[in-house]
Amino acid sequence: MSATVPARRRALVEYLREIGVIDERVLSAMAAVPREAFVPQTFRHQAYDDYPLEIGEGQTISQPSVVARITELAEVGARDRVLEIGAGSGYQAAVLAQLARFVFTVERLPRLAEGARTRLAELGYRNVSVQVMDGTLGWRAQAPFDVIIVSAAAPAIPRALVEQLTEGGRLIIPIGELRRQELVRVVRRGESYEESRHGSATFVPLVGREGF
């Protein structure tokens, strides 16, 4: 309980290893981002527990194991341009920013976007931009992306998103019903798409044209 923040963060990374996260780059990124800076003051003591936490406006910061799993599935390269849909607290974007060349993250709720932008700037992230918009249609002006991560649940894969992937680009998205989804990974191979499933997840709904 009284362990210091760095010790708790190291313990979280050990836990992630135990549950099967093997990509060392992802583990280093998780070790580098201060999750306590992304959760409301009242939950700071729980920042390194493996739970989603409320961040206001009915939204949540995803649990660390899910962030690690998604980031691992995305195979983010150092030269990659990444689009995240659903910035929320900005935590997933910070983890991605440790690994990528640039991260565009979009959020439909202005108050959350503002909070994420301030936090990321205070922590010194210069390779992330936070934009207020409906991300269900992607971001055509900035496309294509090597990685697209949807941090909210969708009923189906939005066509506009797969069309904004580079050749070999990866889309990671929770697909399913409101209360339970499956993590789906889509890889673009020329004009076709390779789809695989990676276990269950529970996300807040994607709201908008291609959402719920």
Footprint on this chain of ligand SAH (rule: CB under 6 A): 59-62, 85-89, 91-92, 106-109, 112, 134-136, 151-152, 204, 206-208, 211
Nearest to 144 by CA among 165, 169, 162: 165
Tell me what percent of the chain is helix, strand and coil, each rounded to the nearest 5. 35, 30, 35
Nearest to 158 by CA among 139, 178, 140, 137: 137
**Of residues 2 and 111, the one with the C-beta less far from ligand SAH:** 111
Residues 6 or more apart from 28 whose CB is under 8 A from it? 98
Nearest to 170 by CA among 90, 105, 106, 77: 77
Residue 196 is a catalytic residue = no
**Of residues 30 and 194, the one with the C-beta less far from ligand SAH:** 30
**CB of residue 132 to ligand SAH, shortest distance in Å:** 8
**Of residues 5 and 160, the one with the C-beta less far from ligand SAH:** 160
**CB of residue 181 to ligand SAH, shortest distance in Å:** 12
**CB of residue 167 to ligand SAH, shortest distance in Å:** 25
**CB of residue 211 to ligand SAH, shortest distance in Å:** 5
Question: How far is 96 from 77, CA to CA, in rounded Å?
Answer: 10
61 in Cβ contact with 89 (< 8 Å): yes
Nearest to 98 by CA among 128, 67, 60: 128
**Of residues 40 and 144, the one with the C-beta less far from ligand SAH:** 40
The residue from 2, 28, 62, 89 that is catalytic is 62
Q: Catalytic amino acids? A: 62
